[in-house]
């Protein structure tokens, strides 16, 4: 896993999560910025889109991880103040774009906003997630654009998804760029605090 090219942002609420996420999430700065700029573009309605990138397995440990490389706003998503859904047209448009521009990438999940709500998955969000993103390694990112909070919803090793328990991620800085993360409910994790240095030293 590319820990040494990334900075770990742990969601403050993570400490209370009883379950271990089944995968580790890495996200490029480009994808982070795109998703956040989109999230800020409408502060009254839920908006969202797709996360594309790659799904991999660490050759040493066998642990799975995804790299969110791009955030693709869903231009045709039906939306309202408290729900979002993806229309068939928007799904088709997304697959067209993926085929054309990112043929070697996979759909690693989706993101959407919860203006003036907390970071969680509603029962409808869960329905969408399980219908359109059924792979155990696919994730849902929820962003609250007013308070600048967010979280990744990740299935645990048994494939169970807790709609209240979310996680932070690893920001891919290439080991050289300054962090662009501004989410206020996440804390930068010094390398080694969670055994990452031990892993590096092996
Ligand atoms: Zn939602």
Q: In total, how many domains does the chain have?
A: 1
Rounded to the nearest angstrom, the gap between the alpha carbon of residue 158 and the centroid of all alpha carbons in its chain is 19
Q: Is 187 helix (H, G, I), strand (E, B) or coil?
A: strand
Measured CA to CA in angstroms, residue 136 lies from 25, 32, 66, 155, 198 at distances of 13, 22, 11, 6, 27
Question: Domain of 106?
Answer: 3-201
pLDDT for the residue numbered 199: 45
Task: Compute, in angstroms, the gap from residue 68 CA to the centroid of ligand 1.
Answer: 20
How far, in Å, is the centroid of ligand 1 from the Cα of 179? Answer: 27
Rounded distance from Cα 144 to ligand 1 centre (Å):
10
* pLDDT band, residue 70 (cuts 50/70/90): very high
pLDDT of residue 79: 64
Average pLDDT over residues 38-54: 93
CATH number where 94 lies: 3.40.140.10
* CA 45 to ligand 1 centroid distance, Å: 11
Cα of 47 vs centre of ligand 1, distance in Å, is 9
Average pLDDT score over residue span 138-150: 97
Q: Please give the model's pTM, rounded to 2 decimal places.
A: 0.90
Q: How far is CA 123 from CA 106, 133, 164, 166, 182, in A?
A: 25, 15, 11, 15, 28
Residue 83 Cα to ligand 1 middle (Å): 6
CA of 121 to the centre of ligand 1 (A): 5
């Amino acid at each position: 896993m590319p820990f040494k090219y990334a900075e770990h942002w742990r969601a403050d609420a993570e400490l209370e999560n009883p379950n271990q996420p089944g995968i580790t999430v890495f996200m490029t700065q480009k994808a982070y910025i795109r998703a956040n700029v989109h999230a800020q573009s409408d502060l009254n309605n839920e908006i969202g889109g797709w996360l594309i990138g790659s799904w991999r397995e660490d050759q040493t440990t066998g642990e799975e991880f995804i790299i969110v490389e791009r955030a693709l706003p869903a231009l045709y998503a039906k939306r309202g103040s408290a729900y979002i859904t993806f229309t068939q047209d928007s799904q088709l448009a997304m697959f067209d774009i993926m085929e054309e521009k990112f043929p070697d990438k996979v759909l690693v999940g989706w993101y959407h906003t919860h203006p003036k709500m907390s970071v969680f998955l509603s029962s409808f969000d869960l329905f969408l997630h399980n219908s359109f993103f059924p792979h155990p390694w696919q994730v849902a990112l929820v962003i609250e654009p007013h308070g600048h909070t967010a979280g990744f919803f990740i299935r645990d090793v048994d494939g169970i998804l807790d709609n209240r328990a979310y996680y932070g991620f690893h920001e891919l800085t290439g080991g050289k760029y300054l962090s662009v993360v501004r989410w206020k409910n996440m804390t930068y994790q010094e390398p080694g605090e969670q055994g990452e240095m031990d892993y590096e030293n092996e």
